[in-house]
Amino acid sequence: MLNSLASGRRLALRIVMLQLGMAVVLGLVFLTQGVRSGIAAASGAALVALGTALLAARAFAGYGGGGMTMGRLLMGMVLKWIAIGGGLILIMGKFKLPPLAAMTGLVAAYAINLLAFRFKG
């Protein structure tokens, strides 16, 4: 075993916090284009943070064998995509917020994953 569950939980918490920070920053940046754009960008990034939190909560739910752990990870990934997909439908479909701002928030929050695994601190 290379990493403990506690180490994985700490990394997941760090990623979620960074993604929420990105949501705040993007919301403020896109606020220059209007309130609706700011809300869309912040919401897009917050969706990724919510999805990551759901994935982490499910994946790090407890100990078990390899099959059980893989099942929890896959179920967490399904929950993540349901949350992100449903949230995007709400943002762009129901609330009619600007899609470019929402997608920019989504992509920027996903970029945090790459940075978090690249620079371990």
pLDDT above 90 for 4: no
Q: In b/e form, how buried is each residue of 99-118, taking b as 16+ CB within 10 angstroms?
A: eebbbbbbebbbebeeebee
Banded pLDDT at 1 (limits 50, 70, 90) = low
Please give the Cα distance from 72 to 69 (Å, whole number): 5
Tens digit of each residue's pLDDT (9 = 90 or more) over 70-119:
999 999 999 999 999 999 999 999 999 999 999 999 999 999 988 877 76
What pTM did the predictor assign? 0.91
Q: Range of 105's domain? A: 5-118
